[in-house]
Structure 1
Amino acid sequence: MANSKRFIVIAGNIGSGKTTLTQLLAERYRWEPHFEVVAENPYLADFYENMPRWSLQLQVFFLSKRFQAHQKIVYGPSSAIQDRSIYEDAHIFARALYESGKMEKRDYENYYELYSTMTQLLPPPDLVVYMRRSVPCLQERIAQRGRDYEKNIPDAYLEHLNVCYDEWIEKYQIGKVLTVQADNLDLKHRKEDFDYVCNRLEQSLEQPDLFSTC
């Protein structure tokens, strides 16, 4: 792969393996990793107690942090890889909160206007790698990592997020996308699976086509 500055985003649902892939790719290619800041969100505990009350504050915090990370990557000197993007905040999670009645219409419209203004200032990443997994696979992985705040995530919510992801990826036109069908992949424990994804990633970065799937 050419030794030029790269900006890669790893996108995916809760439990999709995006953080694992981010870490592995950062180590292989010596890219600077930027991980999601879920635990740092001061609204997280309140949000799980009362989602309609705190959904806007929660999402604005995430939007701000990911905007800062995106800017740091774009204007920094090194290649970098980001665990979840600013685009997912709006097109996946804020949308899902609004459609499920957990964010008011006026809050969602205000939030989306802010998101649109901010993203107009951001050059897009070179490649979005979408880690797609089925709901049963997601639930199995979520159970394995045993986070208290994820214990009772319903299947319907994960399915809703998968639908939002699929629709976002289908409409994404500002850069290249690699969709990884990941149900049967174990990137952490099977080197051949990780090598396979790396090969497809390198091919996607070099080819002119916007969309590819593996």
Structure 2
Amino acid sequence: MALRVIQLVIPSGTSAFKAVNVIQKAGVHTGSVRSLQYGWLAYMLGERTTPRLKQFSKIFSVDGNLASGKGALAQKLADKLGMLYMPEPDTFYLDKMTQEKGPLPVEFNGMCNLEKFYTDPKAADGNSYRLQHWMYTMRLLQYSDAIEHLITTGQGVILERSPFSDMVFLEAMFKQGYIRKECVEHYNEIKGISICEFLPPHLVIYVDVPAEEVQKKLKQSGKSYLQNVPLAYLKSIEDCYKKSFLPQISGTSEVLAYDGSQAQDVDKVAEDIEYLKFEKGPWLEQDDISYHHMRMLVEDKQNVATLTHIPRFLPEITVGAHEYDKLYFAYKSLPGKKYASGYNADIGDKYIWLK
């Protein structure tokens, strides 16, 4: 399942998103066609982050259960505050980063299926944990995109959930018997060696909608696979948010909580944010030197992705040598994948001999 995130040098992900307002991006080591990667030379030539930072040059995460209205709040709040809205990543987030014309087969996107999880959460082929592991990787990549956008443009970003809150699904899956204890141990290990490389959101906004109400909304959903999500699973997510994630993240991030009706009043939420002083958390300790190292990390998407893959055998996610070899050459046979971007004549790349 690690085929693409290990083998590809993933381009800057911020190009997959467009801000509401035109934002001036850092000009050193950037180009409109093939961007040069930011490095020590750019820093030595005077490229700095702090002069671009304004009042809302921050990372906000809007969290909540399924169908809680967090997406609508995040988007409206981003428009209100002039921030960039990044919707919650799906299993095909990597395709957006690599700017595919359409979603590639699941074989190249974690070999997992969200619909299958909801219809058969205890599938014997290990789909549930493959999905959880893949989604954590996608959230980590998106979070690196958010930080990259922040420090290169100065514009803040509002996300739906983050890799810091991803664990609510892991705990809920385990409580309901969807995944094994060994999967939990594996997840905690990869999260332990990856999340420490990133700073938590400046602010977490929690939309508190009771699990019973969430289930009613899901039953009215146009997606058939969401209409039979067990109430026990939804309650486990709610419990994990309130008993584990929120108490933990409140030590480093500001936290605001609203019920479903309060979350619809965007003006009130924006007003509450205005009153926050943001006087806690590791972001306060950052300077141009640490921002430089942070930018070096988040622009190297291959390095970010490899943080979530360790040499441990786990049947749910381990790909055998022969299967990996087969998948690798299948991927390379796709149009435009044989060589690096810009060097594939089969999709119309021109003047290759001059590059």
TM tier, smaller: 0.7 to 0.9
Would the alpha carbon gap of residues 65 and 207 (structure 1) be closer, same or farther in structure 2, given more than 3 Å must change? closer
Would the alpha carbon gap of residues 89 and 4 (structure 1) be closer, same or farther in structure 2, given more than 3 Å must change? closer
Could you say what secondary structure the match of 1:33 adopts?
A: strand
Structure 1 position 149, deviation (Å): 1.8
Residue in structure 1 matching 2:188, options 89, 95, 112: 112
Match in the other structure for 1:124: 200
Q: What is the identity, as a one-letter code, of the residue corresponding to 2:159?
A: Q
Q: What is the identity, as a one-letter code, of the residue corresponding to 1:46?
A: K
Would the alpha carbon gap of residues 32 and 116 (structure 1) be closer, same or farther in structure 2, given more than 3 Å must change? same
Match in the other structure for 2:274: 202
Distance 1:28 1:50 in 2: 40
Q: Which moved more, 1:37-46 or 1:64-73?
A: 37-46
Matching of residue 170 in structure 1 with residue 261 in structure 2: no
Which one has a larger percent strand, Structure 1 or Structure 2?
1
Residue in structure 2 matching 1:97, options 160, 163, 173: 173
Match in the other structure for 1:5: 57
Could you say what secondary structure the match of 2:164 adopts?
A: helix
Could you say what secondary structure the match of 1:153 adopts?
A: coil
TM-score between both structures, scaled by the size of structure 1: 0.84
Structure 1 position 186, deviation (Å): 6.4
TM-score between both structures, scaled by the size of structure 2: 0.53
Structure 1 position 4, deviation (Å): 4.3
Distance 1:144 1:202 in 2: 36
Distance 1:13 1:185 in 2: 15
Distance 1:74 1:147 in 2: 32
Structure 1 position 98, deviation (Å): 1.3
Distance 1:195 1:145 in 2: 28
Match in the other structure for 2:78: 26
Matching of residue 68 in structure 1 with residue 141 in structure 2: yes
Structure 1 position 145, deviation (Å): 3.8
Deviations 1:24-51 (A, max 9, x none): 1121122111111236374223323442
Structure 1 position 207, deviation (Å): 5.4
Q: What is the identity, as a one-letter code, of the residue corresponding to 2:113?
A: Y
8 A contact 2:252–2:280 mirrored in 1: no
Distance 2:73 2:229 in 1: 23
Q: What is the identity, as a one-letter code, of the residue corresponding to 1:169?
A: L
8 A contact 1:56–1:111 mirrored in 2: no
Structure 1 position 178, deviation (Å): 1.0
Could you say what secondary structure the match of 2:201 adopts?
A: coil
Which one has a larger percent helix, Structure 1 or Structure 2?
1
Distance 1:151 1:65 in 2: 25
Matching of residue 154 in structure 1 with residue 230 in structure 2: yes
CA RMSD between the two structures? 2.1
Would the alpha carbon gap of residues 50 and 25 (structure 1) be closer, same or farther in structure 2, given more than 3 Å must change? same
Distance 1:84 1:115 in 2: 16
Distance 1:34 1:186 in 2: 18
Structure 1 position 64, deviation (Å): 0.9
Distance 1:49 1:135 in 2: 19
Could you say what secondary structure the match of 2:255 adopts?
A: strand
Q: Which has the larger radius of gyration?
A: 2
Distance 1:50 1:199 in 2: 43
Matching of residue 36 in structure 1 with residue 88 in structure 2: yes
- Gap runs ≥5 in structure 1: 188-192
8 A contact 2:61–2:205 mirrored in 1: yes
Q: What is the identity, as a one-letter code, of the residue corresponding to 1:132?
A: D
Would the alpha carbon gap of residues 27 and 130 (structure 1) be closer, same or farther in structure 2, given more than 3 Å must change? same
8 A contact 2:78–2:158 mirrored in 1: yes
